[in-house]
Protein backbone atom coordinates (compact mmCIF):
# COMPACT_ATOMS: atom_id res chain seq x y z
CA UNK A 1 0.00 0.00 0.00
CA UNK A 2 1.09 3.56 -0.72
CA UNK A 3 2.59 5.46 2.25
CA UNK A 4 0.48 8.44 1.10
CA UNK A 5 -2.73 6.52 1.69
CA UNK A 6 -5.43 5.37 -0.71
CA UNK A 7 -5.73 6.74 -4.23
CA UNK A 8 -7.41 10.15 -4.01
CA UNK A 9 -10.68 10.77 -5.78
CA UNK A 10 -11.05 12.97 -8.83
CA UNK A 11 -13.18 15.82 -7.51
CA UNK A 12 -14.27 18.52 -9.96
CA UNK A 13 -14.77 22.04 -8.51
CA UNK A 14 -18.07 22.97 -10.18
CA UNK A 15 -17.99 26.63 -9.06
CA UNK A 16 -14.55 27.14 -10.59
CA UNK A 17 -15.64 25.27 -13.72
CA UNK A 18 -18.58 27.66 -14.17
CA UNK A 19 -16.17 30.66 -14.16
CA UNK A 20 -13.99 29.38 -17.01
CA UNK A 21 -14.42 30.48 -20.66
CA UNK A 22 -16.56 28.10 -22.74
CA UNK A 23 -13.84 27.66 -25.39
CA UNK A 24 -11.69 25.93 -22.77
CA UNK A 25 -14.06 24.26 -20.42
CA UNK A 26 -17.25 23.77 -22.46
CA UNK A 27 -16.72 20.06 -23.14
CA UNK A 28 -15.87 19.32 -19.51
CA UNK A 29 -18.86 21.36 -18.32
CA UNK A 30 -21.22 19.40 -20.60
CA UNK A 31 -19.71 16.09 -19.44
CA UNK A 32 -20.09 17.05 -15.77
CA UNK A 33 -23.67 18.22 -16.35
CA UNK A 34 -24.48 14.85 -17.96
CA UNK A 35 -23.11 12.94 -14.95
CA UNK A 36 -25.06 15.20 -12.56
CA UNK A 37 -28.21 14.55 -14.54
CA UNK A 38 -27.64 10.76 -14.60
CA UNK A 39 -27.16 10.75 -10.82
CA UNK A 40 -29.85 13.29 -10.05
CA UNK A 41 -27.08 15.18 -8.19
CA UNK A 42 -27.72 18.89 -8.85
CA UNK A 43 -26.88 20.69 -5.61
CA UNK A 44 -23.19 20.00 -5.21
CA UNK A 45 -20.30 22.48 -5.23
CA UNK A 46 -18.12 19.56 -6.29
CA UNK A 47 -18.60 16.36 -8.31
CA UNK A 48 -16.63 13.16 -7.78
CA UNK A 49 -16.01 11.49 -11.14
CA UNK A 50 -14.88 8.03 -12.21
CA UNK A 51 -11.27 7.45 -13.22
CA UNK A 52 -12.72 5.93 -16.39
CA UNK A 53 -14.40 9.26 -17.18
CA UNK A 54 -11.06 11.08 -17.04
CA UNK A 55 -9.85 8.69 -19.75
CA UNK A 56 -12.87 9.59 -21.90
CA UNK A 57 -12.32 13.31 -21.28
CA UNK A 58 -8.65 12.94 -22.29
CA UNK A 59 -9.79 11.54 -25.65
CA UNK A 60 -12.23 14.45 -26.07
CA UNK A 61 -9.44 16.98 -25.31
CA UNK A 62 -6.91 15.08 -27.48
CA UNK A 63 -4.44 14.79 -24.58
CA UNK A 64 -3.05 12.01 -22.41
CA UNK A 65 -4.82 11.58 -19.04
CA UNK A 66 -1.67 12.98 -17.36
CA UNK A 67 -1.62 16.08 -19.61
CA UNK A 68 -5.33 16.71 -19.11
CA UNK A 69 -4.93 16.34 -15.32
CA UNK A 70 -2.17 19.01 -15.36
CA UNK A 71 -4.41 21.32 -17.40
CA UNK A 72 -7.36 20.86 -15.03
CA UNK A 73 -5.07 21.55 -12.04
CA UNK A 74 -3.87 24.75 -13.80
CA UNK A 75 -7.48 25.82 -14.33
CA UNK A 76 -8.15 25.24 -10.62
CA UNK A 77 -10.80 22.63 -11.41
CA UNK A 78 -8.89 19.68 -9.91
CA UNK A 79 -6.85 19.60 -6.70
CA UNK A 80 -3.09 18.86 -7.16
CA UNK A 81 -3.75 15.64 -5.19
CA UNK A 82 -5.48 14.38 -8.35
CA UNK A 83 -2.02 13.69 -9.84
CA UNK A 84 -1.84 10.58 -7.68
CA UNK A 85 -5.19 9.37 -9.03
CA UNK A 86 -3.86 9.15 -12.60
CA UNK A 87 -0.47 7.63 -11.68
CA UNK A 88 -2.09 4.20 -11.83
CA UNK A 89 -3.26 4.70 -15.43
P1 LIG B 1 -24.69 2.24 -13.05
O2 LIG B 1 -23.26 2.40 -13.47
O3 LIG B 1 -25.37 0.96 -13.42
O4 LIG B 1 -24.74 2.43 -11.48
C5 LIG B 1 -25.94 2.18 -10.76
C6 LIG B 1 -25.83 2.74 -9.37
O7 LIG B 1 -24.75 2.10 -8.68
C8 LIG B 1 -25.52 4.24 -9.33
O9 LIG B 1 -26.72 4.99 -9.41
C10 LIG B 1 -24.87 4.37 -7.95
O11 LIG B 1 -25.85 4.38 -6.93
C12 LIG B 1 -24.09 3.06 -7.83
N13 LIG B 1 -22.68 3.21 -8.29
C14 LIG B 1 -22.08 2.69 -9.38
N15 LIG B 1 -20.76 2.96 -9.40
C16 LIG B 1 -20.52 3.69 -8.29
C17 LIG B 1 -19.34 4.28 -7.74
O18 LIG B 1 -18.20 4.19 -8.26
N19 LIG B 1 -19.51 4.97 -6.58
C20 LIG B 1 -20.73 5.12 -6.01
N21 LIG B 1 -20.82 5.88 -4.88
N22 LIG B 1 -21.84 4.56 -6.46
C23 LIG B 1 -21.73 3.86 -7.59
P24 LIG B 1 -26.66 6.52 -9.88
O25 LIG B 1 -25.62 7.27 -9.11
O26 LIG B 1 -28.07 7.03 -9.75
O27 LIG B 1 -26.24 6.47 -11.40
C28 LIG B 1 -27.14 5.98 -12.40
C29 LIG B 1 -26.40 5.68 -13.69
O30 LIG B 1 -25.85 6.91 -14.19
C31 LIG B 1 -25.20 4.76 -13.54
O32 LIG B 1 -25.63 3.42 -13.63
C33 LIG B 1 -24.34 5.15 -14.72
O34 LIG B 1 -24.84 4.55 -15.91
C35 LIG B 1 -24.57 6.65 -14.82
N36 LIG B 1 -23.55 7.39 -14.06
C37 LIG B 1 -23.69 8.02 -12.88
N38 LIG B 1 -22.55 8.61 -12.52
C39 LIG B 1 -21.66 8.33 -13.48
C40 LIG B 1 -20.29 8.66 -13.66
O41 LIG B 1 -19.63 9.31 -12.82
N42 LIG B 1 -19.70 8.22 -14.79
C43 LIG B 1 -20.37 7.46 -15.71
N44 LIG B 1 -19.69 7.03 -16.77
N45 LIG B 1 -21.67 7.13 -15.57
C46 LIG B 1 -22.29 7.56 -14.47
P1 LIG C 1 -15.92 12.70 0.38
O2 LIG C 1 -16.05 11.77 -0.75
O3 LIG C 1 -14.53 13.12 0.77
O4 LIG C 1 -16.81 13.98 0.06
C5 LIG C 1 -16.78 15.12 0.91
C6 LIG C 1 -17.93 16.06 0.58
O7 LIG C 1 -17.72 16.58 -0.74
C8 LIG C 1 -19.29 15.40 0.57
O9 LIG C 1 -19.86 15.45 1.86
C10 LIG C 1 -20.07 16.29 -0.38
O11 LIG C 1 -20.50 17.46 0.29
C12 LIG C 1 -19.00 16.67 -1.40
N13 LIG C 1 -19.00 15.78 -2.56
C14 LIG C 1 -18.03 14.95 -2.98
N15 LIG C 1 -18.34 14.37 -4.14
C16 LIG C 1 -19.56 14.84 -4.47
C17 LIG C 1 -20.41 14.63 -5.60
O18 LIG C 1 -20.11 13.88 -6.57
N19 LIG C 1 -21.59 15.31 -5.59
C20 LIG C 1 -21.95 16.14 -4.56
N21 LIG C 1 -23.14 16.74 -4.62
N22 LIG C 1 -21.16 16.37 -3.50
C23 LIG C 1 -19.98 15.74 -3.47
P24 LIG C 1 -20.99 14.38 2.26
O25 LIG C 1 -22.03 14.27 1.19
O26 LIG C 1 -21.45 14.77 3.64
O27 LIG C 1 -20.23 12.98 2.35
C28 LIG C 1 -19.24 12.76 3.35
C29 LIG C 1 -18.49 11.49 3.06
O30 LIG C 1 -19.39 10.36 3.07
C31 LIG C 1 -17.81 11.46 1.68
O32 LIG C 1 -16.54 12.07 1.74
C33 LIG C 1 -17.69 9.96 1.47
O34 LIG C 1 -16.60 9.44 2.21
C35 LIG C 1 -18.99 9.43 2.08
N36 LIG C 1 -20.01 9.36 1.02
C37 LIG C 1 -21.07 10.18 0.80
N38 LIG C 1 -21.79 9.76 -0.25
C39 LIG C 1 -21.16 8.65 -0.69
C40 LIG C 1 -21.40 7.77 -1.77
O41 LIG C 1 -22.37 7.90 -2.56
N42 LIG C 1 -20.52 6.74 -1.92
C43 LIG C 1 -19.47 6.57 -1.10
N44 LIG C 1 -18.65 5.54 -1.33
N45 LIG C 1 -19.18 7.39 -0.09
C46 LIG C 1 -20.04 8.41 0.11
P1 LIG D 1 -16.53 5.85 -4.35
O2 LIG D 1 -18.01 5.69 -4.30
O3 LIG D 1 -15.81 6.03 -3.04
O4 LIG D 1 -15.93 4.58 -5.11
C5 LIG D 1 -14.51 4.36 -5.20
C6 LIG D 1 -14.23 3.28 -6.23
O7 LIG D 1 -14.84 2.05 -5.84
C8 LIG D 1 -14.78 3.63 -7.61
O9 LIG D 1 -13.84 4.44 -8.29
C10 LIG D 1 -14.93 2.24 -8.22
O11 LIG D 1 -13.69 1.76 -8.67
C12 LIG D 1 -15.35 1.39 -7.02
N13 LIG D 1 -16.81 1.28 -6.93
C14 LIG D 1 -17.62 1.84 -6.00
N15 LIG D 1 -18.91 1.50 -6.21
C16 LIG D 1 -18.93 0.69 -7.31
C17 LIG D 1 -19.97 0.03 -8.04
O18 LIG D 1 -21.18 0.09 -7.71
N19 LIG D 1 -19.58 -0.68 -9.13
C20 LIG D 1 -18.29 -0.77 -9.52
N21 LIG D 1 -17.99 -1.47 -10.63
N22 LIG D 1 -17.27 -0.14 -8.85
C23 LIG D 1 -17.60 0.58 -7.76
P24 LIG D 1 -14.33 5.33 -9.53
O25 LIG D 1 -15.14 4.52 -10.47
O26 LIG D 1 -13.10 5.98 -10.07
O27 LIG D 1 -15.29 6.45 -8.89
C28 LIG D 1 -14.77 7.50 -8.10
C29 LIG D 1 -15.88 8.22 -7.37
O30 LIG D 1 -16.78 8.84 -8.30
C31 LIG D 1 -16.74 7.34 -6.50
O32 LIG D 1 -16.12 7.12 -5.25
C33 LIG D 1 -18.01 8.18 -6.38
O34 LIG D 1 -17.80 9.24 -5.45
C35 LIG D 1 -18.12 8.78 -7.76
N36 LIG D 1 -18.96 7.94 -8.62
C37 LIG D 1 -18.54 7.15 -9.63
N38 LIG D 1 -19.56 6.56 -10.24
C39 LIG D 1 -20.69 6.97 -9.61
C40 LIG D 1 -22.07 6.70 -9.80
O41 LIG D 1 -22.50 5.93 -10.69
N42 LIG D 1 -22.93 7.34 -8.97
C43 LIG D 1 -22.50 8.16 -7.97
N44 LIG D 1 -23.42 8.72 -7.17
N45 LIG D 1 -21.18 8.42 -7.75
C46 LIG D 1 -20.31 7.85 -8.56
* ipTM of the prediction: 0.92
Condensed to tens digits (0 to 9), the pLDDT of residues 57-71 reads 999 999 999 999 999
The answer to whether residues 36 and 42 touch, using CB atoms and an 8 Å cutoff, is yes
DSSP secondary-structure letter at 65?
H
Ligand nearest to the CA of 50: 3
Q: Give bridge partners of residue 10 from the DSSP assignment.
A: 49
pTM: 0.93
Query: Do 54 and 65 form a contact (C-beta atoms < 8 A)?
Result: yes
Minimum-distance ligand 3 atom for the alpha carbon of 49: 30
Cα(49) to ligand 3 centroid in Å equals 8
**Dist. CA 74–CA 68, nearest whole Å:** 10
CATH topology for 10-86 is: Arc Repressor Mutant, subunit A (1.10.10)
Domain segments of the chain: what residues?
10-86
What are residue 60's phi and psi, to 5 degrees? -60, -40
Give residue ranges with CB within 6 A of ligand 3: 9, 39, 48-51
Better pLDDT: 74 or 89: 74
Amino acid sequence: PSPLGPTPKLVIDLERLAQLPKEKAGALARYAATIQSQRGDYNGKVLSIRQEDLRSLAVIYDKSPTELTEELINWGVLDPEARRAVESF
